[in-house]
Amino acid sequence: MAKGRGGFPGGGMPGNMNQLMKQAQRMQAQLEEKQAEMETMEFEASSGGGVVTVAVNGKKELTKVVIDPDAVDPDDVEMLQDLILAAANEALKKCETETQSQLSEITGGLGGGMF
């Protein structure tokens, strides 16, 4: 009968655990660095053939809205509102796509949606 030592022959687990912890700490530092870098980036999108342009930063905060005066029609405010929403949503989508791409480089696809 084999004597139970937790199923880890040679007691190699503590060394592996230390190595895993160091690797996790390196990954955490890389993630924090990448997050700080992403927060400084700007993502821009336009709608209506460029009559409305919106920018967001990596914190997903709206930083800029540019509206061509020709897009302002007092009789069709709803169209302008739709153009702003479309541009803002597209800019946010670009931000999210880039964030996920950058993070997957570090994590190898683990833990999607961390930010």
What does the DSSP 8-state code read for residue 60?
S
Instruction: Give residue-wise pLDDT tens across range 18-55.
Output: 888 888 888 888 888 888 888 889 999 999 999 999 99
Q: How many beta carbons lie within 10 A of that of residue 55, not counting itself?
A: 18
CA distance 13 to 21: 12
Q: Can you give the pTM of this predicted structure?
A: 0.67
Starting at the earlier edge strand, list the strands of the sheet with 42-47: 42-47, 52-57, 62-67
The residue ranking higher by pLDDT, 51 or 113, is 51
Which amino acid type is present at position 24? A
CB neighbour class for 101 (10 Å; exposed up to 12, middle 13-18, buried from 19) = exposed
Per-residue model confidence (pLDDT) at position 105: 82
